[in-house]
Amino acid sequence: MHSHFITKLLGLEDVEITHVEDQITDFEIHIQTPVKVQKCPCCQKETSSVHDDRMQKIRDVKVFEKYCFLISRKRRYRCKSCGIRFYEPYSFLER
């Protein structure tokens, strides 16, 4: 219930909220996306091979005079066809 409300409030799509931390100066909302088949930006072939991932901290809107940070484990995929590595796109973020 709460995670559905938070995703609607922040305009997040295809995201699962794993937990929320209420810090003194901010809120940290930990999110994850499902592993999906991605299209290679170079050769346009499909891949679901995850190369690695990294934590990304994204500042979002201010709520109750505290900043909201989205903490995400962003995946980097590897194309089995051409070998290029690329990050998964997020529908709610610009490049």
SS (H, E, C) the chain: CHHHHHHHHHCCCCCEEEEEEECCCEEEEEEECCCCCEECCCCCCEECCEEEEEEEEEEEEEECCEEEEEEEEEEEEECCCCCCEEECCCCCCCC
Q: What is the pLDDT of residues 45-68, one digit of tens each?
A: 999 999 999 998 988 767 778 888
CB 44 within 8 A of CB 51: no
Distance CA 73, CA 67 (A): 19
Q: What is the pLDDT of residues 2-49, one digit of tens each?
A: 666 666 666 677 788 888 898 888 889 898 888 889 999 999 999 999
Which is nearest to 45 in space by CA: 4, 12, 3, 77? 77
The answer to whether the predicted template modeling score (pTM) of the entire model surpasses 0.85 is no
